[in-house]
Structure 1
């Protein structure tokens, strides 16, 4: 019997998902403050197999498995998530000013489809609060996913992204430019190739400006794309990201598609994540990898619930992978389970490292 999946999850799923989310983050925040506990738990949770280790952007990752943005929006529980054995954590999306997001209810479980729908709307406490939360210790790299405030028009969006970089530069191990959430009106329009290239250049320029000002190490800048782009638009967006000099791609965000869903909540507005996104996101990772031709690392996200799911994205071209819905359905032991299973799969298939497996099925 699995304690979380068989005992705790059925009870938690009886209550409002956002209430449970806030309660969980608060509990994890408190657990992360217990002296020595997070580091001890991480030592037990994180596999030590050398196959899982790789160096990207001059930084070492103990595991290719990370936590996707959206779960810890304000970076309140980075110590506890690090203790679960993640190789890295992505927090946010954060905007310069605090904002409440969309009206509730705005988060829905779809258990029949092993999925979630959210229309949160970048609810967060703003960059000032996040900087305070990230001022303390961490157990693994923490990436900051940045966006624009809802009231900021698209023509002024770059100023919001630049402000996020300027205010969080000293505490971010990487920045992720989010132009692909479906829950901020007009945001996805920024994925248009010309707009996207200009925006990413602004972010890169601000990062370089802060590097000079602070003399701190330059963090990589990645761009997160949506899975709903027309193939020609997806190709153009990838080209724009590369032309702007970004350091990586995250493929993909949530989808607006509802194909094949069975849950009573299937018609709710918002972005769909979870198992229904698995095949689509893996295919997009493959296309992005083939187009980028190894120029930048790709982070694969969407529908990862098992080590096999993670392995398929790595074979398609992902150097790193992220989970969100999988953690909701699989519980806090999932990161360790996936990492151990991934190490076994690498050995079984004759790969000496994650790096060796990246894109092996996309050549």
Structure 2
């Protein structure tokens, strides 16, 4: 990937006059807005060469050029999915999108934990709503798998009905849908991970999918704060449905990995490097419970080594976001080169052949980075 000669959050001409230190000293949400603006204006670097054939990945019938995606939360309003795909992501997930626009929680609501390369957010599903996002996507060609992450309005009388509306709205535009019930920033939302509530949610969501013209794959995104008993219950529900896969995991409310650091006590979900070991262990534990059901691994990926570990723990594909704040956009290229090298070093021909070869170690807590 050819990049402009700047190495902060983004390496873009629009930001060439801003040093890395200055960008990281900016309010985090302001810096994020500048990033989206730069991408929207077409100032992003584009991948200059095809991905290595070893990285080609099949996921729920989708053919990905590589298994590395942009996670939901970065492009909440589908403003820049095409530029992100052109940078070299194998998938781009936009959202979370709710039926009606909502402003989210009061600012400030996004905080860096500099010493640990972590981020705390309590955004609260701030987004422009179904209509605005649909209008942007309806005639857009995205050269990567396009995911739409759907959620519920904070003041909704029926969260499940909001997810059904999301399926109806985006089933024919998205390459896959993600049902996000794991954000800690909408009161009551995580209760949908409970047994009875999850049965109703998946029943209605998958019934809505069945009525769509196209059978779009549907993923469920779960929290890393679930214990093994809760994972048992979720797996039992999932295995009784035709849900296509899982995304493990969302942000954590735990703070043990960042205790005492500036901003660590802020309310919200913690992401970035401090989340890696917890989210990867939950991923492996989930893999043991759901057999060969596809899993997208997300949470704390920050290097080629951590990307490989997530796959070895049982992920079929991976997503990242927070690490780009600290590592720059060339992190994507470094990860893909590292994964290609790992495949070749093992004498294999495809990244899928490394998936799950350390699941047991990660599930038992015998592996960590």
- TM-score, normalization: structure 2? 0.90
* Structure 1 residues 216-252: Cα deviation after superposition (integer angstroms, max 9, x where no partner): x311000000011122012211222232321001000
Would you say the 8 A contact 2:134–2:169 is kept in 1?
Answer: yes
Q: Deviations over 1:170-205 (max 9, x none)?
A: 211100000000000000001002211220121111
RMSD, aligned CA: 1.8
Partner of 2:47: 42
Task: Determine the C-alpha separation between the residues in 2 that align with 1:351 and 1:313.
Answer: 18
Aligned match for 1:148, one of 147, 152, 167: 152
Given candidates 327, 349, 352, the residue that maps to 1:352 is 349
Asked if structure 1 preserves the Cα contact closer than 8 Å seen for 2:8 and 2:23, the reply is: no
Check whether the contact 2:247–2:298 (CA below 8 A) recurs between aligned residues: yes
Partners of 2:132 and 2:235 lie apart in 1 by 32
Match of 1:109?
112
Deviating beyond 6 angstroms after TM superposition, the runs of 4 or more aligned structure 1 residues are: none
- Displacement of 1:281 in angstroms is 1.0
1:280-329 Cα shifts (integer Å, max 9, x gaps) = 111111111111111x1111111101111011111110000000111111
Match of 1:22 in 2: 33
**Runs (5+) with no aligned partner, structure 2:** 10-17, 361-369
Measure how far apart 1:149 and its partner are: 0.3
1:57 is the counterpart of 2:68: no
Q: 1:286 pairs with 280, 284, 287, which one? A: 284
Aligned counterpart, 2:363: none
**Is the contact between residue 201 and residue 245 of structure 1 (CA under 8 Å) also seen in structure 2?**
no
Work out whether residues 160 and 204 of structure 2, in 8 Å CA contact, stay in contact via their aligned partners in 1. Answer: yes
Q: Deviations over 1:48-99 (max 9, x none)?
A: 3111002222220111000110000011011111122100011100000000
SS at match of 1:66: strand
Map Cα deviations across residues 133-175 of structure 1 (whole Å, 9 max, x no partner).
112121111101111000013xx21210011111122211100
Quote the Cα distance in structure 1 between the aligned partners of 2:350 and 2:274.
29
Equivalent position to 2:326, from 324, 329, 338: 329
Instruction: Give 1:340 deviation, angstroms.
Output: 1.1
**Aligned match of 1:167:** 169
Structure-1 residue corresponding to 2:103: 100
Tell me, what secondary structure is at the counterpart of 2:212? Answer: helix
Q: 1:194 aligns with which of 193, 196, 221?
A: 196
Relative to the length of structure 1, the TM-score reads 0.92
Cα distance in 1 between the residues matched to 2:57 and 2:42: 29
Distance in 1 (CA, whole Å) between partners of 2:288 and 2:303 is 24
Shift of 1:5: 4.0
- Decide whether the 8 Å contact of 1:303 with 1:325 is kept in 2: yes
Residues 120-143 of structure 1 show CA distances to partners (whole Å, capped at 9, x for unaligned) of 000000011111111212111110
Q: Which has the higher helix share?
A: 1
8 Å CA contact 1:93–1:147 kept in 2: the answer is yes
Aligned length: 347
Residue 270 of structure 1 corresponds to 268
Counterpart mapping for 1:70-89 below 5 A = 70-89=73-92
CA separation of 1:202 and 1:49: change in aligned 2, threshold 3 A:
same
SS state at 2:318 partner: strand
- Cα distance in structure 2, aligned partners of 1:148 and 1:9: 36
- Post-superposition CA distance 1:98-134 (Å, at most 9, x none): 0000000000011101000000000000011111111
| 1:336-363 alpha-carbon deviations (Å, 9 max, x no partner) | 1111111101211233212111111126
Partners of 2:172 and 2:216 within 8 A in 1: no
Q: Hey, what does 1:121 align to over in structure 2?
A: 124
2:236 is the counterpart of 1:233 = no
